[in-house]
Amino acid sequence: MDGNGERKEILESGFGSFSLNPMCSRRQTLKWGGLSVIGLSVLGPSLAHSAANSLIVMEQAHGLVVGDPTMCVGCGRCELACTEFNFGKASPTLSRIKVGRNLNFGPDGVAPWREAKGNWGDGLVVQDLCKQCPHPVPCANLCPENAIVTAPSTNARMVDPEKCTGCRICLKACPWEMISFDADTRKATKCDLCKGKPKCVEACPAGALSLVPWRDLTHRIPPRVTNTAQLPSDRSAACQQCHMPGQAKNIRQGIGMLQGARKEGRPVSAREFGFKWIDLAGTILVPLAVVGAFAHAVVRKVRKT
């Protein structure tokens, strides 16, 4: 019996009826790789469809209100204009722009003398405003009643009073504490840009507020509090509806994660991906499978020659 025959007999004796051929062809390698990719792609939406409550994906807001603390005089007219227009009453505690809470000490609270913001520090009055968060929107995805929706004309994130049950979970979800609760109506409330004409901007006598095209400020402005609300597991699984294996967004985020870790001199953590195992598979395993198939073809060609 020649060498090939002996090797085949050993493999068949070890694996029963299953025969293993390590010298598989390039066509077989590509076929198995393709089937693996298809299998991962099919599995993602299958798991997502099994979720009871899908993750809420919102279109980006058309704009947002920004403030210039160097121009704010702390008069509070913006808060009054907001509540009078939206609620028909002067109630700064319900205002969707929050200045009064930062007037004395700033967003960081009481600090050593002359180091804090506000009148009891360096005199800088900081306006707190809704960031109109990009996807995933914390308040929207944590609301059990799906009461956080997009405003028709501005795509701003707003509370639907018909759906809101007053559970206050959204208040805990916002890292900047920009959602208020009306004790009279038992409903939550937040900035919806006043149909594209924010009353706070119109009322500011110092010109310290502006309506600008949307940009992501969520990573530039430190949160006021730590988000204590957790995304339900069923909605977390629904992320797979969008983030399929091998998508460009996953590869870009993976590259960014590696670059950030290298610049900061820290170890790489898979938690930074923000997605699930299927994204890691799509970002790492799929490219490796392609490279492996190419290398396999090169090795076979070199051996034949």
pLDDT number for residue 242: 56
pTM: 0.62
Distance CA 53, CA 62 (A): 27
pLDDT number for residue 109: 84
Over residues 10-35, the mean pLDDT reads: 56
Most confident segment among 20-24, 103-107, 191-195, 238-242: 191-195
pLDDT number for residue 51: 42
Asked if the model's pLDDT at residue 167 lies above 70, the reply is: yes
Closest CA to 273 of 288, 286, 254: 254
Determine the CATH number of domain 57-230. Answer: 3.30.70.20
Q: Residue 81 is encoded by which pair of tokens?
A: 């204009």
Bridge-based pairing state of the strands 209-213 and 63-67: antiparallel
pLDDT number for residue 14: 46
> CA 74: distance to chain centroid?
33
- Three-state DSSP at 167 gives coil
Cis, bond preceding 136 (omega within 30 deg of 0)? yes
Distance CA 270, CA 261 (A): 11
Q: Model confidence over 181-240: pLDDT tens digits?
A: 999 999 999 999 999 999 999 999 999 999 999 998 988 888 988 776 666 666 666 665
Q: What does the domain layout of the chain look like in residue ranges?
A: 26-53+239-304, 57-230
Residue corresponding to tokens 């208040």? 171
Q: Is 125 within 8 Å of 117 (Cβ atoms)?
A: yes
Q: Model confidence over 139-165: pLDDT tens digits?
A: 998 998 999 999 998 999 999 999 999
